[in-house]
Amino acid sequence: MSRLSRLTSILLGVALGAALLLTEYWLLLEHDRNERQQQQQHWGALATGLVVLQLGDALEHSRIMAQQLINGDTPHAFQDLARRVVHDDSVFAGIGTVMLVEQSQRESFENRIAASIRYLNKQHLLPSPPQVQYYPVASYLPDDANALPQGLDLSHQGDIKWILDLARRSDQPMLLPSQPEGPGSSRLDIVTRLGDDHTLLLLNLRPDRLTQPMGDALMADNPLRHVRLLVWSKNQPDIPLLDSLPGKPVPTDTPIVTRRSTIGGNELLLGAYALEPIRPLLTPTAWSVLATSAGILLLLLLLQQRQQRQNQRLNGQLQHQQQQLEQSSRTLHEQINDRMLSEQALAQSEARQRAILQASSDAIILIDRAGHILQANPAAARLVEQSAASLENLPVGVLFPELYSRAPNQSFEQTAQLHEGRPFEASLLRSDGQLLPVELSLSRVVMPDDWFYVTVCRDITVRKKQEEALIRLKNSLAEQVEVQSQQLAALLDASPLAMAYIVDRHLRQVNHAFLELFQQQDRNVIGQPTLPYFENPEQWERTGKVLYSLLNDGKVVQAEMKLRTGKGLLFWCRLHGKAVNPSVPKLGTIWVYQDVSAQRSVEDTLRKAKILAEETSRAKTEFLANMSHELRTPLHAILGFTEMGQLRARGLDDSKLEQYFGRINASGNRLLTLLNDLLDMAKMEVGRMDYSISRNSLTQCLREACEEITPLASRSQIRILLECEPELLVADIDPFRIGQVIRNLLSNAVKFSPAGAEILVHGKLTEQDGQEWAIVTVEDAGPGIPEAELETIFDKFIQSSTTKTGAGGTGLGLAISREIVHAHHGHISARNRPEGGAMFTFSIPRQFQRNLEEGTPDASQTLAR
């Protein structure tokens, strides 16, 4: 062979070797890539299986908790269950109840929960519109930010009403996915029927706990550390129900593992995604194989150069070696695949068993078809008080006598069929020989090549004690109710007042006083309606509508009406009634009856006497008015003759005769003043006082009255000071009558003020409640008025005790003044000044017309009082 041929063969050999090495390198990389992809798929399958197992376990727990609530009779069973189930390490975030409410039951349900039925719309709670049925939340614990408010109608959230209907018609728990706060959020709940088809148990699931392993065994190699798991509902494909990495964008690439499972009546789509792209790397073994191949190729190349002369023989050997190498490579690949499949199956089986047995808080025992214990979890070992290893291969009848077959020809499979598929109570024989009450659930698990039984054991010692305590409590309560009923009956019979207990307007219990009051002979009245005791059916209907509406509001009602005795006699009766519990009208009412016929008779007699006295007083007043008018006519004649006698005596220069006529004239004027006061008072009492009210100057009235009283005040060196704000004070008044009031007040001030004192008269305008008022005040420096007489001095013929000083008076001036001020729609009052003396104040509205008649164009009014 020429040198060029040898060089060519060497180059071809090197190129061929390099190609073979690159091809083997690529094959090893693809093998590692496939292995890593299969590992990712393995983790994805584990993750999806873990979530499905978690959801199935949560559904089973919800069914068990619903059964506990159904069997529990304690009033705090729901709160106790919430405390045991809802905690940080639990898969449940909240627990509640949902009720089916018909349209006719809506009002009673809203009254019971003290809230209306509402639905969520754009994060706002709005009153639910009328519809045939509602699914409101009746209760929910704990009361945190994730809690559902009472009265929230779940049937408004998407199309989940059919799930609620299906849950209350079946015994299987249902998965309830929802979006309570609109797009961008999801909520996952479980609903389970509670005994009847009207109440559902609601359990809220924690998404973070559903995507966590169920025991410590998987914490070291959690499949969710290698893949990202997302779960969608077929009915809500837009937003994932569960996400192992919440907050990150939803991946758009193809999942490495997908799974479709029907759980709790919902078809769920599960997808596992790789957390990062697969980057194949050569293992040391692959590198060693590659290095071996390179060495072999190098050796072959050397051998080729050495044995080129023996090509025929070496070609055969080379082919044989190549076949061996290919066979070795195929064998190696097959071994790797078989090992990977066996490891995957073993890991799945071990993970499933460890997850079920280790994570469960209930005692779980696996039993083979012959009735021997295959495996027991730590909870079962603790319950029996033995190690888990010591329980293996023991007959299950050793622990549970109920599963022991006493018939020699009866197999364990026949015994298990009697209890399979439903919980039953049994006894657990512990290591110390004690029998522990437990509840067993026996289920058959069918495998491809075999089958076995799974037994879930729960300690019901506490429940048994609670049941015994409830029975004792029930018996104790029954005895207490009987004693209290006897005490109530004795109390009613001992009461001197007629008493009755009425439910739905029928007599349920009465005392002896009731039978005596209504003239009944025996207690046959019990259960009879109250209609015969009323005067007529109309009175019975009217009384029920008026009084029972007040009783339902929690008020104590009182009424007086005519009732009928058993012998048909009518009498006046006073009723006092009160509802036993206003929120529960069916509990009835308590009534007390009192005969007030004698009292009503006395009241009628007093009323007739009052009318007779008023008529007598009116006749006296009219007589006094007529007599005052008749007396004033001859008195004017006497005053006229006394004035003539004074003039004649002055002309005759007879001072003594003039003095006599002067005294007669002064006495006559005082008598005329008294008669005028009596006449005015009489007119006021019989309504004959005439007023001419128009717009006049109140300032002018004050000034004229002050000028008129000034001569009288000057005799005692008393000064009268007048102030008006504004100076021209105008109001709707009768100037003559208002002047009479001012003169009466000034006369009294002059009478009671000491010599040299000052009397202050003040008039002003003020605004109160949007109306202008004219206020006049007269202040004197007299002895004042006792506090107890500030009101009585305005009565007729009443004088202050301070008038005993000799000032005198009839006691009619202030009474007349008050009537005049009241006729002007005003008011008058008196009080003492801090520095001494009395202060009289009267106020009248500036515009009388608006107080009397709206819309009258003429301000001048003439009134008859």
Arithmetic mean of pLDDT, 841-849: 88
How far apart CA 316 and CA 313 sit, in angstroms, is: 5
Q: Are residues 799 and 761 in the same domain?
A: yes
Is residue 7 in some structural domain? no
Average pLDDT over residues 125-140: 88
What domain range includes position 370? 360-459
What pLDDT sits at residue 722?
A: 92
pTM score, whole prediction: 0.36
Confidence at 860, pLDDT banded by 50, 70, 90: very low
From the CA atom positions of the chain, what is the Rg in Å?
Answer: 55
Residue 288: inside a domain:
no
Q: Does residue 854 surpass a pLDDT of 50?
A: no
807 and 729 within one domain: yes
Same domain, 642 and 767: no
Query: Do both 724 and 824 map to the same domain?
Result: yes
SS3 200: strand
For 172-186, the pLDDT digits (tens) are 898 888 766 554 467
Whether 168 shows a pLDDT value over 80: the answer reads yes
Q: What value does the mean pLDDT take over residues 155-160?
A: 75
746: tokens are: 């000034």
Question: How far, in Å, CA of 818 to CA of 738, rounded?
Answer: 11
Name the band, by pLDDT with cuts 50, 70 and 90, for residue 216.
very low
Q: Residue 215 pLDDT > 90, yes or no?
A: no
d(CA 492, CA 53): 65
In this prediction, residue 809 has a pLDDT band, given cuts at 50, 70 and 90, of: low
| Mean per-residue pLDDT of the chain | 80
What does the pLDDT read at residue 778?
Answer: 94
Distance in angstroms (rounded) separating the CA atoms of residues 786 and 64? 86
440 lies in the same domain as 542: no
- Work out the percent of the chain whose per-residue pLDDT is above 90: 8
- Give the range among 162-166, 233-237, 526-530, 557-561 with minimum mean pLDDT: 233-237
Residue 799 has pLDDT above 70, yes or no: no
Amino acid letter for position 44: G
How much is the average pLDDT of 342-359? 74
Domain identity same for 666 and 695? no
Q: What is the pLDDT of residue 307?
A: 64
Give the mean model confidence (pLDDT) for residues 200-224. 72
Q: Which two tokens stand for residue 563?
A: 């009732």
pLDDT confidence tier of residue 859, bands split at 50, 70 and 90: very low
Using CA atoms, how far apart are residues 762 and 841, in angstroms rounded to an integer? Answer: 9
Output the pLDDT for position 841. 95
Question: Residue 232 above 50 pLDDT?
Answer: yes
Q: Is 228 part of any domain? A: no
Look at residue 2 and tell me whether its pLDDT is greater than 90.
no
Query: In whole angstroms, how far apart are CA 511 and each of 31, 319, 483, 492, 576?
Result: 99, 122, 18, 5, 16
In this prediction, residue 703 carries a pLDDT of: 92
Q: Which of 718, 846, 686 is nearest to 773 (CA)?
A: 846
Q: Does residue 270 sit within a domain?
A: no
* pLDDT, greater one: 351 or 268: 268
Domain limit, last residue, from 459, 481, 511: 459
User: Between helices 813-823 and 735-752, what is the axis angle to 10°?
Assistant: 150
Instruction: Say if residue 112's pLDDT is above 50.
Output: yes
- 452, 369 in Cβ contact below 8 A? yes
Q: Is 72 helix (H, G, I), strand (E, B) or coil?
A: coil
pLDDT tens string 461-479: 888 888 888 888 888 887 8
DSSP letter for 431, please: T
Task: Verify that 585 and 517 share a domain, yes or no.
Answer: yes
φ, ψ of residue 800 in degrees (nearest 5): -70, 150
- Mean pLDDT computed over 791-803: 70
pLDDT at residue 844, rounded to an integer: 93
CATH of the domain at 116: 3.30.450.350
> Do residues 719 and 781 both lie within one domain?
yes
Same domain, 535 and 662: no
> Is residue 715 in a domain?
yes
**Are residues 533 and 560 located together in one domain of the fold?**
yes
pLDDT tens for each residue of 363-416: 888 888 788 888 888 888 888 888 878 888 888 888 888 887 777 777 887 788
Give the bridge partners for 259, in sequence order. 270
**Strands (E) located in 460-505:** 498-503
Tally of residues, the chain:
865
Q: Is there a single domain that holds both residue 623 and residue 589?
A: no
Same domain, 589 and 613: no
User: CA-CA distance, 146 to 158, in Å (whole number)?
Assistant: 19
- Token pair 């071994």 in the structure block, residue: 335
Q: Tell me, what CATH number does 517's domain have? A: 3.30.450.20
Assign 3-state DSSP to the chain and report helix, strand, coil percentages, each to 5.
50, 25, 30
> What pLDDT score was predicted for residue 426?
86
Q: How many beta carbons lie within 10 A of that of residue 715, not counting itself? A: 9
Which one of 183, 206, 229 terminates a domain? 206
| Mean pLDDT (whole number) for 724-740 | 89
Give alpha helix (H) positions in 360-409: 378-384, 388-391
pLDDT (mean) for 664-682:
72
Does some domain include residue 721? Answer: yes
Q: What's the token pair of residue 65?
A: 């908790």
**Residue whose structure tokens are 């009923």:** 485
pLDDT of 331 above 60: yes
Which of 543, 562, 595 is at the close of a domain?
Answer: 595
- Asked, for residue 759, whether it belongs to a domain, the answer is yes
Q: How many structural domains does the chain have?
A: 5
Question: pLDDT at residue 769 above 70?
Answer: yes
- The CATH number assigned to the domain holding 820 equals 3.30.565.10
Q: Does the residue 244 lie in any domain? A: no
